[in-house]
């Protein structure tokens, strides 16, 4: 249906998406100009418009993200918090899409909505599987989000020195118990 035979322009489309993610992640929504993205992708700005329609739609196309959470029921419950902290920090480091969402989400409603749906649709259900009362799952998932996003904000975006210079292990050691409590404690 939607996927025909591969087009000759697929490489260009992909290059645009890559450049867009990079620019949105580094500069936020408004500072990431179509001209700069096009330059990074080594094509003309008008191509971006032809293939993605508008800056808004380009962002929507570039900002798909999957946290790739493990199945929480398969996790040893007593150190789920630590494993979750490690997984999320790693996921954060190897995919700049989350930066794009974080930087853009602060000023751009589309990005904020995308962020909300990631934590509601991907994290929420997993939390519901293991937390004491499934009705509390949204709140617990929200708290986990707050600590995870807060650390990412301080570490990667604001670059508060002590948080930015922390090793990943150190960060996991501190966050693990916090997430564990938000997950199953009181």
- Per CB under 7 A, residues contacting DNA are 7-9, 11-12, 32-36, 42-50, 54-56
| Shortest Cβ 139–a copy of itself spacing (Å) | 5
By a kind-dependent CB cut-off of 5 to 8 A, residue 12 interacts, out of DNA, a copy of itself, none, with DNA
- C-alpha 176/C-alpha 81 separation (Å) is 5
Number of CB atoms found within 10 A of residue 2's CB:
3
Which of 24/99 has CB closer to DNA?
24
Cα distance from N-terminal residue to C-terminal residue, the chain: 49
| Shortest Cβ 108–DNA spacing (Å) | 12
By a kind-dependent CB cut-off of 5 to 8 A, residue 34 interacts, out of a copy of itself, DNA, none, with DNA
| Shortest Cβ 157–a copy of itself spacing (Å) | 6
- 140 in Cβ contact with 183 (< 8 Å): yes
Nearest to 104 by CA among 141, 55, 69, 52: 55
Residues 31-70 that bind a copy of itself (CB under 8 A): 31
Helix (H, G, I), strand (E, B) or coil at 2: coil
Residues 100-139 that bind a copy of itself (CB under 8 A): 102-103, 105-107, 112, 115-116, 119-120, 138-139
Which of 15/151 has CB closer to a copy of itself?
151
Which of 19/103 has CB closer to a copy of itself?
103
- 123 in Cβ contact with 69 (< 8 Å): yes
- C-alpha 79/C-alpha 172 separation (Å) is 11
Strands (E), 49-151: none
When asked if residue 151 is in the footprint of a copy of itself (CB under 8 A), the reply is: yes
């Amino acid at each position: 249906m939607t996927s025909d035979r591969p087009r000759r322009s697929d490489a260009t489309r992909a290059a645009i998406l890559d450049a867009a993610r990079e620019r949105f992640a580094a500069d936020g929504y408004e500072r990431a100009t179509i001209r700069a993205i096009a330059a990074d992708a080594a094509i003309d700005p008008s191509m971006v418009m032809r293939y993605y329609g508008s800056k808004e739609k380009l962002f929507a196309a570039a900002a798909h993200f999957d946290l790739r959470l493990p199945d929480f029921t398969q996790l040893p419950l007593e150190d789920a918090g630590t494993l979750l902290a490690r997984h999320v920090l790693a996921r954060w480091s190897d995919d700049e899409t989350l930066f794009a969402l974080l930087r853009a989400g602060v000023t751009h409603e589309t990005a904020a909505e995308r962020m909300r749906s990631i934590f509601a649709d991907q994290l929420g259900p997993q939390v519901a599987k293991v937390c004491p009362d499934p009705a509390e799952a949204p709140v617990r998932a929200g708290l986990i989000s707050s600590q995870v996003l807060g650390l990412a904000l301080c570490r990667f975006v604001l670059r508060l020195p002590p948080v930015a210079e922390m090793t990943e292990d150190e960060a996991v050691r501190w966050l693990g118990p916090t997430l564990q409590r938000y997950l199953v404690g009181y």
